[in-house]
Amino acid sequence: MHTIEPYYNWRGFYIASEDIQSPFYGREYSEFEFTDKIYNYCIHPQWDNIGSPTLFIKILFADYDEGFCIIEMFGEWNDAVENDIMFFKRDIVELLMEAGINKFILIAENVLNFHSDSDDYYEEWFEEVEENDGWIAILNLRQHVLDEMKTESLDQYFVLGGDLEDFSWRTMTPQQFYSSVERYVMKRLA
Q: Taking a C-beta distance cutoff of 8 angstroms, is the pair 7, 60 a contact? A: yes
Statement: the pTM of the whole predicted model exceeds 0.75: yes
Query: What pLDDT is stored for residue 32 in this prediction?
Result: 79
Taking all residues of the chain, what is their mean pLDDT, rounded to a whole number? Answer: 94
Give me the CATH code for the 16-189 domain, please.
Answer: 3.30.750.24
Q: Taking a C-beta distance cutoff of 8 angstroms, is the pair 146, 36 a contact? A: no
Q: What is the mean pLDDT of residues 139-145?
A: 96
Of the CA atoms within 13 Å of residue 3, those in its CB half-sphere come to: 0
Amino acid in the structure at residue 43: I
- According to DSSP, the β-strands at 55-63 and 48-49 are antiparallel
* Gyration radius of the chain over CA positions: 16
Domain spans, the chain: 16-189
pLDDT digits (tens, 9 = 90+) for 8-48: 999 999 999 999 999 999 999 887 788 899 888 899 999 99
**Cα-based distances in Å from 153 to 67, 117, 156, 160, 181:** 26, 11, 6, 12, 22
Beta bridge partners of 56: 49, 74
